[in-house]
Amino acid sequence: MATVKPTDIAKLAHLARIAVSEEQAADVADRITEVLNLVDQLQEADTDGVEPMAHPLDTAQRLRADQVTETDQREAFQAIAPAVEDGLYLVPRVIDE
């Protein structure tokens, strides 16, 4: 049986960029363990020689010609951004002065 421990949650939370407080970690670990116990039934299936199925119709992704088809809509896109300046998206400083 898969068991996710509260200590594993910190790593997962970091990978997913989701903050989980220490108080929540035990509860989150329990809930995720329940889901993993549900999906553990998969291990009983005999899948020797079975190809993984990624797409319901087993077709490959269509490719398009490498041509510009979109028009410039920067203003429309930036109008819905939380913080912009001079056409740039603003985030907290990443590189120290």
Applying CB under 8 A, which residues contact other proteins? Answer: 4, 9, 12-13, 15-20, 28, 31-32, 34-36, 38-43, 45, 47, 50-57, 59, 61-62, 64, 73, 76-77, 79-83, 89, 91-94
Helix (H, G, I), strand (E, B) or coil at 27: helix
Q: Closer to other proteins by CB, 16 or 68: give it.
A: 16
Which residues lie below 8 Å from residue 2, measured CB to CB, with a gap of 6+?
33, 36, 37, 40
Least distance to other proteins, CB of residue 22, Å? 14
> First vs last Cα of the chain: how many Å apart?
50
